[in-house]
Chain A
């Protein structure tokens, strides 16, 4: 499929724009996630959002509350999970991995229970779980671009502080930074990114778009700022390839994007030893 065909296609153009916007958010926040080695923690947030989605979907259907959209529920659940995980990190560091897993499964359990209680066929939920970028609306794209602008601004302002807490929390503390607040802030930014990326690849596969492009970029660069830029372009390339392939093969787009990301990552691994420039 040519670029011209995609740009003139009513379904594919918003999907491509959403993919570009999502890749920007994923590339930037994913780079912090990979550098700080909190991929598992991010996986926990992305799965715990199911609790918020399920609960809000149940509210919407059961009580006919139109404002209770699953996306809103996901956002609240993601932020609460991020704050809880940040608190766990500083309070129960020695049991952090167990508590991350507990939050992961608790969020999903709540989601599954409310989904079971919700009447009707839950197509919305299927889209949130597995993503459906082909259904991205101009409104979704506008929200993603707005968030990208906010994210780039905040990253520009706080990058040195984030870099410090990712590399050496003790030094950050020595320099008078409020490490706990900064870490919570970073986790909240990651949580919001996850919710937005869920619309592209779904809750189950969001970690792929967050972790794999920066992991590939880290093979070719040794500076976080360069990794971020590279990861954005890698994410765009992978998303573009995934959307094209899914359109041709009639495969689910989210899963196709995640699969292509994994293949590109595996293909990049042999270049790892040349990674010191």
Chain B
């Protein structure tokens, strides 16, 4: 188990400890860590590419994996690694396309923070690149349909399982529940956000009565799934999953703010709204109410504005110095404009 020190900014990571953990977890006689390096993307979690050679045990052979660990400063509402690992296992078992979860390590002595390891899935996730390739190769509508179907599969996963007991069901109508949550988030920020509050007041007045609840991914959008050869390869980033109104996921996916410049392709900047919704409806066996959907698209802009303000504050407060976080403050005006456009009321 060759020990190599990888420079990790403030702390040096001892890959020898990682190799020892892997050997224990995989029941191996020997593990050689070959690559352990940062993976681009993810303002919230810290993802590393891991390549290792495993000798002995049931997992013997080459390991091509991703290590997902908590970032230095964490958004309090995102699940910890243990919960996200449990979710991934549940989804993988249910046949949802996700990276195969392998091992969880809660011992901070190994990498300084808790983490889990999942098998690496080949594919493109970057939104800007994906919307371009989808347009050039003409697979946008087919991909949108695959995504609609996959989301229906997610919503059909029973959430009452004991290993998912950390998921809390909303105590009031899901729209109102979200409004209260986002107000709490805003209260933790130093500056008032009047345009966002305007949107929240509108969302409170127009809240829909509660329908059937489902396990929601809550970050199902372009940028959070992998595509290989024009096909959906895996749905990523389960850290915000929860129990809520399934239309919330549909609205988040369709919202204008997640189209990466391809505004006319309403399904995530890749395909048509109809292709996405028709496939969802077919698989879910229910008709989606378009008016309710508009409500959740407005919610999506409000939510992204709240998250963007939180991310900007992580930099501004000194918790985590980052140009990417700092610049997130400047996506807010565009969201505010959209929120106001969507909430004109006899004005």
Q: Are chains A and B native binding partners rather than an unrelated pairing? A: no
